Structure 1
Amino acid sequence: MFHGRAADDHFPTPGRGVQPGSPASCQGRYRVSCRFEWSVGDAGDPAELVSAFLSRNGLRVRDLGRTATQFHPIGAGEPCGAALYVSASAGSVMVGGPPGAPSPVPGIPDVVAVVHVHDGAADQSLSVMGACAIPPDDSGGFAPGAGPEQWRIGPWRDSWSRSEHAAAVSAAREAIGRGDIYQVNVVGHSSAPYTGDPRAALNRVAGLPGARYGGVLSGSGWALATASPETLVEVRDGRVVTRPIKGTRPATARGRRELLASAKERAEHIMIVDLERNDLARLDAVGPVRVDELFGVRRWCELWQAESVVSAPIEGRLDLADLLRAMCPPGSVTGAPKRSALAEIARLEPVGRGAGMGALGWVGTDHVDLGVSIRTAAVDGDRVHLWAGGGITWDSDPYAEVDEAAAKAAPMRAALSGVPR
């Protein structure tokens, strides 16, 4: 598999094979065991299916609170953890919402889990673990013959023009005015043809500054790279935590002052914090939900972003399937109320969210840590794809929202092209 880089104590600079969100203690010590894939239109409940797969392969995902207090040293051949990806469409299906427009990258499954074991065991360990849905594939389906120096990106093609994007924002404001929704995220897609080996470009994306979940996940003929700074859900030390991000300004002294002073950004942010509080409260296994930090300012590349921290103690049996149904798709990139926002997204967005605006991270032996797949690029055999957008409220200015989406995409485009910023 490809690899990337993330930037904090849990995710230092990795070596080969590092997956988004994987802990430092495992890096350089694991290998792929097997994988699970599910796509919209396949049979079954994806939350239950992927949880059952991980459980059969040695991860204690049926009682996450107990898992966090029962950590033991991992020996060779034992499961280290699993990379887990859930698309926005799969998340919508999990909560009974519409899947939205078709993905522009249909080759990428909507749910992917890749189990890793620590090095040192013979391959027969797989038969002991059991239930490998798909054999290991470390190639990504991309021929390594073309070197990074041959990488070229052609002209970008947007899913809509500036005026069409602004019109979608105006339509979202009208829905808010009718009382259909309180807030909704409107997201656009862009793509470009490429030639050469994409791996170095994807690693540049994963290495963007401020990426908590920086890394690359790949499959047969596809790969996605994330530079996401946003935590969808973390289960660690007996607590469930989410860190919603909402509110953006340029990373200048003036931009910071504007973000802190913006009544519009603060109101939008608090609305999403309330939504995430409600999502956590839907879990029967958790206790009182609290806001540990409200409207903190963090930096991602050349942008300031507002982040809050919401958490709850685990007081009962917490199943990963229930956690996914409660938290997916991410509230910060859907809106409030969530199901009504999903209906608006399906109505307004002409191109599916594909690899963007879902969940991507790590399910370990003693924790779960999933980021929101914002600031995420994907490649298939022909094109590279990006998604960017923003939250819309009644106070939103349509063209300002268009410019904000472009500002979020700009570092990604630069990293992919190799242009220094």
Structure 2
Amino acid sequence: MRKVGPYGVETLPQMVVNPPAAPARCRGGLVERARLQWRRSDGGDPAALAEEFLAAHGLPLHDLSRPGGRQHRSTGACGAALYLSAAAGALLAGAPTTATDPTPTLPDLAVVVYDHGLSPTPPPGPPPGWRLDDWTESWTPRQHADAVDAVRAAIGRGDVYQTNLVGHAAARYTGDPLPALNRLAALPGARYGGVLTGDGWAIGCASPETLIEVTDGHLTTRPIKGTRPATTAGRAELLASAKERAEHIMIVDLERNDLAQIARTGTVTVDDLFAIRRWCDLWQAESTVRAAVAHGLGLADLLRATCPGGSVTGAPKLAALTQIGALEPVGRGASMGALGWVTPGRVDLGLTIRTAAADTEKLHTWAGGGITWDSDPAAEVAEAAAKTAPIRATLAGR
């Protein structure tokens, strides 16, 4: 485990602090006070470590059923950014994580405490030249399609009901990647738009999906499942698709079960079932699941119950995670994890879909989708490409 003081991105140029889900009025005026970084090789429980670290720095989240207890002040501690990788979430769920990590410089947990102050600004003058090379995929379309067939076979055997498959790609770059990641964070529909940086790494997020939100003693998750082009015909097709609706409802039921573990008995409800929302040039189906927080629920138990998110794993969750580990050629890195903002009485974490990461040499992206018995392999490959196209175009500066 690494507990370190505040620092910037020592091997990448600095930028204005812009963590996802931070209060809008505070962005651009935050300065890092303290940081915790952890990797699976360090051992221990990342959920407990996060809760303990935050409490040690004046941000107790031991009982989320209580209100925050104070108004937000413009001086002193503002809150903290929290990032948890998909691999760390799988560890919390008791699933194997054997795939090679394509971004080993990234931590599996990062908690960054911010005070109000004057954050560093980019140096004056034009940005340095930016070049992004061609993307190299971690699997071919044929391999992706074969993995879809393998999931369908597992469904036929009764091993799983649904499994989410995710592909990875990387591209070498020259120049400063942070403006590109900041462009990504500004894409339309990015409810969790923002950038988190560390020593030699950065994550840019344009996620529209709420993994878990806790406000005033209430839990909310907004699973997204079902995608079509953002056209009139695409919207009608999504609404009429029995396959997409069945896939979506499976995940809503999974999320209801996850919340029931940490909610007051009988309080779990579903609102806005299969509502159609827009992200960039895609329609997506979203539902809202709500519940009242169980007395004494802390951040650690919240993370254990909700990570990794059901919409990027499948059902049953543990069986789906086992299959994901066997079929995906590389790890999920910064994608399909949690990233957002925490402060006493409030947690707001997005699911890191529509997310990219930078190390000192390459940019990395991920995309995929849920596989059911009715899935068509070619259509699943095309859907993943449609999801990643706006991300790659934005990163390239188009």
Q: TM-score range by the shorter chain?
A: over 0.9
**Per-residue CA distance 1:319-374 (angstroms, 9 max, x = gap):** 00000000000100000000000000000001110000000000023411000000
Pairwise CA RMSD of aligned residues?
Answer: 2.0
**Map of 2:65 onto structure 1:** 65
Aligned ranges for residues 22-171 of structure 1 at < 5 Å?
22-68=22-68, 70-74=69-73, 76-77=75-76, 79-119=77-117, 148-171=127-150
Q: Cα deviation per residue 1:150-207 (whole Å; 9 max; x = unaligned)?
A: 1101111001111111001111111111100000000000011100111211111111
- Give the Cα–Cα distance (whole angstroms) in 1 for the partners of residues 123 and 389 of structure 2: 27
Moved more, 53-62 or 303-312: 53-62
Of the three residues 325, 328, 336, the one matched with 1:346 is 325
Q: Does the 8 Å contact 2:263/2:293 carry over to 1?
A: no
- 1:266 corresponding residue in structure 2: 245
Read off the aligned partner of 1:162 and give its amino acid letter: P
- Deviation string 1:282-333 (CA, Å, 9 cap, x unpaired) is 1165652110220000000000000000010124111000000000001000
Which residue in the other structure is 1:181 paired with?
160
Aligned equivalents of 1:96 and 1:356: distance in 2?
19
Amino acid at match of 1:157: T
Does the 8 Å contact 2:312/2:369 carry over to 1? yes
1:31 CA drift (Å): 1.2
Shift of 1:24: 2.0
The reply to whether residue 202 of structure 1 matches residue 201 of structure 2 is no
Q: Is the 8 A contact 1:194 1:384 kept in 2?
A: yes
The one-character-per-residue Cα deviations of 1:121-144 (angstroms, maximum 9, x if unpaired) are: xxxxxxxxxxxxxxxx989xxx98
Counterpart amino acid of residue 71 in structure 2: H
Q: How has the CA–CA distance of structure 1 residues 153 and 144 changed in structure 2, closer, same or farther, with 3 Å as cutoff?
A: farther
Q: Is the contact between residue 264 and residue 291 of structure 2 (CA under 8 Å) also seen in structure 1? A: no
1:147/1:196 contact within 8 Å kept:
no
Match of 1:404 in 2: 383
2:4 maps to which residue? none
The secondary structure found in structure 2 opposite 1:114 is: strand
- Where 2:379 maps in the other structure, the secondary structure is helix
Q: Specify every segment of 5 or more residues in structure 1 that has no aligned partner in the other structure, as ranges.
A: 3-14, 121-136
Partner of 1:278: 257
Cα distance in 2 for residues equivalent to 1:138 and 1:345: 40
Question: After the TM superposition, which of the residue ranges 187-196 and 278-287 deviates more from structure 2?
Answer: 278-287
User: Which of 381, 385, 388 lines up with 2:364 in the alignment?
Assistant: 385
2:351 corresponds in structure 1 to: 372
Letter of the 2:33 counterpart: S
Structure 2 unaligned segments of length 5 or more: list them. 1-7, 10-14
What's 1:309 paired with?
288
CA contact (8 A) 1:286 1:316 kept: no
Give the Cα separation in 2 of the matches to 1:328 and 1:320. 12
- Residues of 1 paired with 2:208 and 2:351: CA distance? 8
**Residue 215 (structure 1) aligns with:** 194
Residues 60 and 67, structure 1, Cα contact 8 Å, conserved in 2 = no
Structure 1 match to 2:3: none
Asked if structure 1 preserves the Cα contact closer than 8 Å seen for 2:192 and 2:206, the reply is yes
1:224 aligns with 2:224: no
Larger mean Cα displacement after TM superposition, 277-286 or 213-222: 277-286
Q: Distance in 1 between matches of 2:120 and 2:141?
A: 40
Q: 1:283 to 1:251 in 2, by over 3 A?
A: same
Give 1:326's aligned residue: 305
Who is 2:315 aligned against? Answer: 336
- Alpha-carbon spacing, 1:36–1:208, altered in 2? closer, same or farther (3 Å): same
CA contact (8 A) 1:32 1:138 kept: no
Stretch deviating more after TM superposition (365-374 or 239-248): 365-374
Say whether the 8 Å CA contact 1:287–1:314 is kept in structure 2. Answer: no
**Number of residue equivalences:** 386
TM-aligned CA deviation for residue 380 of structure 1: 0.5
Q: CA deviation at 1:147?
A: 5.7
Q: 2:226–2:248: 8 Å Cα contact kept in structure 1?
A: yes
Q: Secondary structure at the match of 2:243?
A: helix
Determine if contact 1:287/1:315 at 8 Å carries over to the other structure.
no
Scaled by the length of structure 1, what TM-score is found? Answer: 0.88
The SS at the match of 1:64 is coil
TM-score after normalising by structure 2: 0.93
**Corresponding residue SS for 1:299:** strand
Residue-by-residue CA offset, 1:366-394 (whole Å, 9 max, x unaligned): 41100000000011011110000000000
Q: Please report how far the alpha carbon of residue 119 of structure 1 lies from its aligned counterpart in structure 2 after TM superposition.
A: 2.6
Amino acid at match of 1:195: T
What does residue 125 of structure 1 align with? none
Please tell me whether the aligned partners of residues 286 and 312 of structure 1 are also in contact (alpha carbons under 8 angstroms).
no
Contact kept? 2:366, 2:388, Cα under 8 Å: yes
In the alignment, residue 340 of structure 1 is paired with which amino acid?
A
Describe the SS at the equivalent of 2:184: helix
* Aligned position for 1:9: none
The one-letter code sitting in structure 2 at the alignment partner of 1:94 is L
Rounded Cα–Cα distance in structure 2 between residues aligned with 1:73 and 1:397: 50
Give the C-alpha shift of residue 145 in structure 1: 11
Report whether the alignment pairs 1:242 with 2:221.
Answer: yes
Percent identity, aligned pairs only, is 59
Aligned partners of 2:263 and 2:292 also within 8 Å: no
Q: Which contiguous aligned blocks of 4+ residues in structure 1 show a shift greater than 3 angstroms?
A: 143-149, 284-287
